[in-house]
Amino acid sequence: MRSLVRLWPYVRPVGLRLFGSACVAVVASCLSLLIPLVLKWIVDGPVARRDPSGVWLGGGLVLLLGLLEAGLFGVRRWLVARPMAGLEARMRADLYRHLQRLPVAFHDRWGSGQLLSRGTNDLQIVRMFLTFPLVFLAVNSTTILVGFGILLSQQWTLGLVLLVPAVPLVVMCAYFEARYSLAARRAQDQIGDLTTLVEESVLGIRIIKAFGRHRSQARAFRRQSHELRGTELRKAWLLADIWALITGLPDMALGAALFVGCVQVAHGSLSAGTLVAFLSTALALRWPIESIGWLLSISNESATASDRYFEVMDAAEPPETGNDEEETSGSGGIRFSGVRFRYPDAPPHSPDLLTGVDLHIRTGETMALVGATGSGKTSLTALIPRLYEATGGRITLDGADTAGMTRARLRALVSTAFEEPTLFSASVRENVLMGAEEASDADLLRALEIAQCGFVHELPQGVETQVGEQGLSLSGGQRQRLALARAVVGRPRFLVLDDPLSALDVHTEALVEAALRQVLATTTALVVAHRPSTVMLADRVALLADGRIAAVGTHRELLGISAEYRWLMSGSDGAHRAPADAEGSTAR
């Protein structure tokens, strides 16, 4: 109940219709309890008097009650179908919106399959619960209470016989609930893990085929499927046990009541019509009683699904501080002052990845950032648009502290192109204009020209061509050029490029560099570089080592004063050894 009560904010807007559907269902269910009373009247009246016209009247009443019951259940379904579909859509929209706002560190920890299963399978379970089981938990409980009231009023001794299984049933339901909820949670988590595996296999199909790993992936899939199968069988066994008890104990009590009732009819202390009505009422209560096990199982699965949904929704969004008004002080450009950083999932006693970075990129200057693998170059660039929050220190843009800006304002100022170019299942135009939605067609064509994306005009629908999931219909170099076009289309004030030319051939690289110089001349840029050709785009170069900026100067100056820089650029100093590759959970 604690888990399901959290759904109230979503249920409240449709609560009136949900309550109305429950009332309609209660009336429909109670109509079915009137049928045994009509049967009693038929047996003790027209049948006993051998009056065929009375039998026809009684049959008509039973038919009318049946039609009314069916019609009311149809009305109940109409009342809740559309509102519950809307509720599911709202919950899914809230989850998606929340995921977009959560920090990158959250997505580093969570498997995509787990998030997908929460947004699809779990929400479908919640909707189904609110549509049917929640209503019928109330409806069937009311029906059982009304039904037993009728039974006790007809013949209280037989009613007490039917009440005998109540205590063991309550005890067994509590026993069942505790175990089934654990199995339901395990199954839903395993569905998330299996979804992650399938997604990774689909996205990585080229790697799997290239290395001939389809058998190992198939084994991993079979192993996880087998674990899920075992958990589902465990759930099935639990359901079978509770169904056997819920069906068997009441049937035994019904048999005992039938025997006692027949004895009473034989002795003349009970009319045949009353016995028929009593047994008919008891049989009408079989479904409400037997459904308890199924309703409990769905309720437990829904509670687990609700828990899994709110696990994500409870993840704290980064606080939105600051405002869109720039309060500048000090020098312009990009300045790092004593910046420290460690990843949120780093081991507790591990050292910081960045231990005190001090660097000033002047307004209009292009700074190349170089360093050994794992030195934290990508991490440092991710701090500028606050994809991660700095552990300590201060970063300013033209004197304005980034920590004091709203993220919307900050990311309007800073444009980024990552080393791994990610494209979406959308057209070329939509992918590029993600960098600036208000950009004109002229801006789009300019960005495509700068990034040497002339190939898009040869695509079937030009810039309207769909590039497919992850952009895998394009080559690596083409994806990287489109990502670069996306970064420059909005004429950004600050530009962060993480090795943006790594996938290009030397001829295309030279063309892109020539065009990119025009963009860099009008912006303040930080460019992560791994090779001399990219370094040559910069006015100055910063060497990152041991979590700090070890040296700053022109390419020529650093070649003269830094052995590590010479090693990184050309490997000419064989005596120098680059730092060990520390890339992992604390260095990215």
Whether the predicted pLDDT of 575 surpasses 70: no
pLDDT band at 445 (very low <50, low <70, confident <90, very high): very high
Whether the predicted pLDDT of 325 surpasses 70: no
pLDDT band at 188 (very low <50, low <70, confident <90, very high): confident
pLDDT band at 163 (very low <50, low <70, confident <90, very high): confident
pLDDT, position 29? 81
Q: Name residue 76's amino acid.
A: R
pLDDT band at 470 (very low <50, low <70, confident <90, very high): low
Q: Tell me the average pLDDT across 191-219.
A: 81
Is 134 in contact with 1 (CB distance < 8 Å)?
A: no
| Highest mean pLDDT: which range of 86-100, 191-205, 412-426 | 86-100
pLDDT, position 359? 94
CA distance 422 to 71: 54
Q: Where are the beta strands (DSSP E) in 381-514?
A: 392-397, 400-401, 414-417, 494-498
pLDDT band at 571 (very low <50, low <70, confident <90, very high): low
The residues near 265 (Cβ < 8 Å, ≥ 6 apart) are 271, 272, 275
Full set of structural domains in the chain with CATH: 2-313 (1.20.1560.10), 334-421+493-569 (3.40.50.300)
Q: Tell me the average pLDDT across 477-493.
A: 87
Report phi then psi at 334, rounded to 5.
Answer: -105, 130
Is 379 in contact with 388 (CB distance < 8 Å)?
A: yes
Digit-coded pLDDT (tens) for 214-271: 888 888 889 999 999 999 899 888 888 887 887 788 888 888 888 888 888 888 888 8
Whether the predicted pLDDT of 150 surpasses 90: no
pLDDT band at 548 (very low <50, low <70, confident <90, very high): very high
Digit-coded pLDDT (tens) for 455-464: 888 888 888 9
pLDDT band at 320 (very low <50, low <70, confident <90, very high): low
What is the rounded radius of gyration, in angstroms, for the C-alpha atoms of the chain? 35
Of the listed ranges 30-44, 59-73, 434-448, 566-580, the least confidently predicted one is 566-580
CA distance 390 to 371: 19
pLDDT, position 361? 94
pLDDT, position 338? 93
Mean pLDDT, the chain, rounded, equals: 83
Whether the predicted pLDDT of 316 surpasses 70: yes
pLDDT, position 582? 37
Whether the predicted pLDDT of 92 surpasses 70: yes
Whether the predicted pLDDT of 583 surpasses 50: no
pLDDT, position 518? 80
pLDDT band at 322 (very low <50, low <70, confident <90, very high): low
Whether the predicted pLDDT of 574 surpasses 50: no
pTM of the predicted model as reported, rounded to 2 decimal places: 0.72
pLDDT band at 586 (very low <50, low <70, confident <90, very high): very low
Q: Comparing C-alpha atoms, which of 145, 131, 166 is closest to residue 299?
A: 131
pLDDT, position 579? 44
Whether the predicted pLDDT of 109 surpasses 80: yes
pLDDT band at 336 (very low <50, low <70, confident <90, very high): very high
Q: Tell me the average pLDDT across 116-136.
A: 86
CA distance 379 to 200: 24
Whether the predicted pLDDT of 202 surpasses 80: no
Is 542 in contact with 333 (CB distance < 8 Å)?
A: no
pLDDT, position 335? 94
pLDDT, position 340? 93
The structure tokens listed for 72 are 């009311």
Q: Tell me the average pLDDT across 421-449.
A: 87
pLDDT band at 324 (very low <50, low <70, confident <90, very high): low
Instruction: List beta partners, residue 542.
Output: 369, 552
